[in-house]
Amino acid sequence: MEIIAKDKSNKALITEYQFLAPTLKIYDFSPNQWHHPGVSFPIENQRYYKKYQDFFIKNLKKNNIDLIYETVSGDESITELVISKKCLLKQRLTEMLIKFEIQKNCKEFK
């Protein structure tokens, strides 16, 4: 929580822990409140995946988001299910926190 609190940039927070954003007194800019792949949003090769991906990226652009923080203990991230790994610079900060820097020169963000 300290890492996210210290970062004053416009950021999105993707997390199952719904208490984090209110506790940190930030707006999370997450396009979803629930993050269950294939259930609360479509994944690649599902019918509405491209529409959801466009919606997700449009939300990031509209809010001028450069960083995405995601709470995840394993290697499977929600962010990488929606945005191509080529468009993200991934850095594991702690056992439970990953930071993605959006590469805005990437095809998906043009």
The tens digit of pLDDT for each residue in 63-86 reads: 999 999 999 888 778 899 899 999
- Can you give the pLDDT at residue 37? 60
Q: Residue 98: exposed, middle, or buried by beta-carbon count in 10 A (0-12, 13-18, 19+)?
A: buried
The tens digit of pLDDT for each residue in 10-40 reads: 899 988 777 787 778 787 877 766 565 655 6
Model confidence, pTM: 0.85
- Can you give the pLDDT at residue 92? 95
The tens digit of pLDDT for each residue in 87-103 reads: 999 999 999 999 999 99
